[in-house]
Amino acid sequence: MIAVLPGERLLRVCLLSLFSSAAFWLVIGSIFSLIASIKFHSPEFLADHAWLTYGRVRAASTNLALYGFCIPGGLGAALWIIARVGGTNLVFAPGVLGGAVLLNVGVALGLGGILAGGQLTGFEYFEMPQYSAIFILLGYMLAGASAVLTLHSRSNRELAVPQWYLMAAIFWFPWIYSTAILLLLVYPVRGVAQSVVAWWYAANLQFVWITLAGLAAVFYLLPRTLGRELNSRHIALFGFWMLVLFGSWTGVPRSAPVPAWMPSMSIVATVMTSLLYISVLLAVWYTIRGTSHTDAGSERGVKKEPSVPSDGSADIPVRHVGAASQLGAQSRGCGTRSEAPLPTCLGAARFAKFAVAAFLLAGLISILPVIIGRGEWVTFTWLGPARWQFAIYGFFAIAVFACIYCSLSEFAGQGDELPRLANVQFWLASSGTLLIGLPLAGAGIIQALKLRNPDIAFVDVSKATLHFLRLSTVGDLLIVAANVILLFSIISCIARSRSASARAVIADSTAEVLR
């Protein structure tokens, strides 16, 4: 059991505030996504009210997933990983708390604006109106500042792979988001330049940022749950370069009515990202298989401490010396706590493996059609939403879930029910992802092939996809259930840790009195 230090308590409060708001918005967002999914095969469902029309419900679901869940959830996972790998306490914790408040205010305002006012910006995945976008940007920058300062105060100066990914992610979002706010909302550019900026922003958020943060979680969790080093660090760093170099150039679709070099550049970049997928596959495969042709510890010239029982031994000296320096002194190789294997009963490795599989599947969906026929034939089909489901939920969200469960077990102990909840949640979330992603991909391929043939009436093209869409509604239902379980786990953890910390406070104060 990790000792509850003052710094540890601060980290707990900060992370739980981020994670609980992320889970809350995820539940709301998935309910909207369920409504949107039902509307496809029953268009008259809830159609009598402007605020529940398909366009607004769909915008609400995607934007809640991105700004309600991915941003705070990703920030929380990033803070947790940075603190653990760096073996340090959270720095500038008020920034995180204030950031969480601002993010929640921004998302709530944006949701209201989209649903009630119809104040969608008109750019997909960037629909939060200007007044709420400002809150989101400020909230992110506050929490991000804390992440940067925490990273800076790390006791082990050498950066591990997850820290590379996270550092890039932290700086990436403010740049793209402020560009999009300025050039699309405040001083809108003219004509199709708007669409290009919007595509650029969407690709950088949904592909680059999401992948940076999600892969950091995977590259942190997998070695730690398996009790091994990441194998190999070089492959993972190669993937990092491929992602930031080529991922940021994707986004402009083949069909775009813009000068031809833009879609061509995007297509080349999309094909080049296959190097990223291959390197991730190799790194994860070698790590799971555990063959160590390079020992990451010795490679960095650091002698690994033989079997320091980090749990028990960390407890005693920490009381006397500062937490950070002690943890740093204990193992210079990489932070102590990153060495300590996570409890396997939570299945964090399983979460991480599924996340990687979904990531690769999303990559396959985006690259294969480009290689076969330049991607023209699948634009405007359901393959896009299928890819979104795999990338955002199957990959990113499930990787963040694993971080959430592991941090919960560190904060409040596992108890009896946490492993059970994590288990049920994993199966619901993963089967839900597959039940949405695979039917949508099937619908997309059928739609693409039928749209190619002008003799097939358009109404028949849509009819051919209906069965797949019905199936995906079942998946949406499972995902709502999975998200509710996540929210319940976090809330019950907060309840347990509050009673535990109350007991600890009482024990501390009585100890003072008794001595």
Partner 1 sequence: VNYGPMVFLAAFFAMASSWFAFVLKPQLQTGQMVPTNTVPAGLSYPAARPGLAQQGLQVYRENGCYYCHSKQVMQESTVFEVILIEAGTNPPALQSAIAHLAPKLAESGKALEDLPKPILASVRKDRADRAVRLLTASGAEAIPWVRPTGPDIARGWGKRRSVAEDFLFDDPVMLGSQRVGPDLANVGVRQPDINWHLRHFYAPTVVVPGSVMPPYSYLFEKRRVGLRPSPNALAGGADLGVGPGFEVVPKPEALALAAYMISLRADAPLFSAPYSVPGTLPPPETIAETNAPSANGGAPTNAPSQ
Q: Using CB under 8 A, which residues numbered 277 to 336 contact partner 1?
A: none
Q: According to CB under 8 A, which one of 19, 69, 286, 382 is a site residue for partner 1? A: 382
Applying CB under 8 A, the site for partner 1 has a residue count of: 86
CB of 45 to partner 1, least distance (A): 8
451 or 481: whose CB is closer to partner 1? Answer: 451
Q: Using CB under 8 A, which residues numbered 94 to 153 contact partner 1?
A: 118-124, 151-152
CA distance linking residue 100 with residue 136, whole number of Å: 9
**Contact indicator for 82, 149 with CB cutoff of 8 Å:** no
CA distance linking residue 311 with residue 336, whole number of Å: 9
CA 274 to chain CA centroid, Å, is: 20
Alpha-carbon torsion angle 30, 33, 37, 38, nearest 10: 80
Task: Say which residues have a Cβ less than 8 Å from residue 427's Cβ, sequence separation at least 6.
Answer: none
152 or 498: whose CB is closer to partner 1? Answer: 152
Kindly report each contact of residues 238-242 with a partner whose C-beta sits within 8 Å and lies 24 or more positions away, as own/partner: 238/275, 238/279, 239/215, 239/275, 239/276, 239/279, 239/280, 239/283, 240/161, 240/164, 240/165, 240/168, 240/212, 242/272, 242/273, 242/275, 242/276, 242/279
Q: According to CB under 8 A, which one of 1, 6, 257, 312 is a site residue for partner 1? A: 257
Q: According to CB under 8 A, which one of 26, 244, 398, 400 is a site residue for partner 1? A: 244
Check binding of 414 to partner 1 (CB under 8 A): no
CB of 446 to partner 1, least distance (A): 13
Q: Using CB under 8 A, which residues numbered 169 to 198 contact partner 1?
A: 171-172, 175-176, 179, 183-184, 188-197
153 or 431: whose CB is closer to partner 1? Answer: 153
CB of 271 to partner 1, least distance (A): 16
CA distance linking residue 272 with residue 266, whole number of Å: 10
Q: Using CB under 8 A, which residues numbered 336 to 375 contact partner 1?
A: none
274 or 381: whose CB is closer to partner 1? Answer: 381
Check binding of 63 to partner 1 (CB under 8 A): no
Q: Using CB under 8 A, which residues numbered 440 to 479 contact partner 1?
A: 447, 451-454, 458-460, 462-463, 466
The radius of gyration computed from the CA coordinates of the chain, to the nearest angstrom, equals 23
Cis before 232 (ω within 30): yes
96 or 197: whose CB is closer to partner 1? Answer: 197
347 or 444: whose CB is closer to partner 1? Answer: 444
Q: According to CB under 8 A, which one of 34, 141, 143, 167 is a site residue for partner 1? A: 167
Distances (CA, A) of 355 to 56, 299, 368, 396: 29, 28, 20, 7
CB of 497 to partner 1, least distance (A): 33
Q: Using CB under 8 A, which residues numbered 144 to 163 contact partner 1?
A: 151-152, 157-159, 163
CB of 460 to partner 1, least distance (A): 8
CA distance linking residue 22 with residue 140, whole number of Å: 13
Provide the token pair at 44. Answer: 């008259």
Helix (H) / strand (E) containing 80: helix 71-86
Check binding of 200 to partner 1 (CB under 8 A): yes
